[in-house]
Structure 1
């Protein structure tokens, strides 16, 4: 649903400017506490450095799917932006998912 997504450039900029960042070798996670305690808003950014459009879209789909399948385990009330690093372009779904969960644990947003 639309209310669960970060869409506008301004929304992304607020998260980058005011939020905290956590990173590992595949992904970077920016978190910013919003005033909506019942859900998270989620955005994905994959730059052209990662590859051509087919590769970028594949990476984006893998990130979104790993978030979708695990979002019940994440704490609510945050705006989240995940940025793919260039090393993520030839990785499997399991590697992306493990990397995403690792970032949420680093950020203290993971309820096991």
Structure 2
């Protein structure tokens, strides 16, 4: 599966917030909602509370990269919104990737490895 689509419109984000299910950990909050498409759509939100523009973009890139490198593990047909918390500031790739994997397992959106 290729992670090609992203959530862009405010309406899409609001729909996931309103109707989706959320779990959180120290660094991230993840909302998940099933969609009618056969693709995984990812939206990332990093507020000014996390830091300045450079810091926010770095956190966004780390989250996107952790999804890109693990896209084969995720079920398709989902809208996912990831919100970075202030604790994500200054974290390295391993910590952010671990947080993403933790939330994915809580949501049960990870494929079983013997399924593949």
Class of the TM-score when normalised by the shorter of the 2 chains = over 0.9
What are the equivalent positions in structure 2 for 1:21-100 lying under 5 Å apart? 21-36=22-37, 38-100=38-100
Match of 1:43, SS? Answer: strand
Name stretches of at least 5 consecutive residues in structure 1 with no aligned partner.
none
The alpha carbon displacement at 1:2 in A equals 9.6
Match of 1:109, SS? Answer: coil
TM-score when scaled to structure 1? Answer: 0.95
Name stretches of at least 5 consecutive residues in structure 2 with no aligned partner.
none
The alpha carbon displacement at 1:110 in A equals 1.0
TM-score when scaled to structure 2? Answer: 0.91
Which structure has greater helix proportion? 1
Alpha-carbon separation, structure 1, partners of 2:73 and 2:3: 21
| Runs of 4+ residues deviating >2 angstroms | none
Alpha-carbon separation, structure 1, partners of 2:101 and 2:45: 17
Aligned residues: 111
Q: What is the match of residue 8 of structure 1?
A: 9
The alpha carbon displacement at 1:91 in A equals 0.5
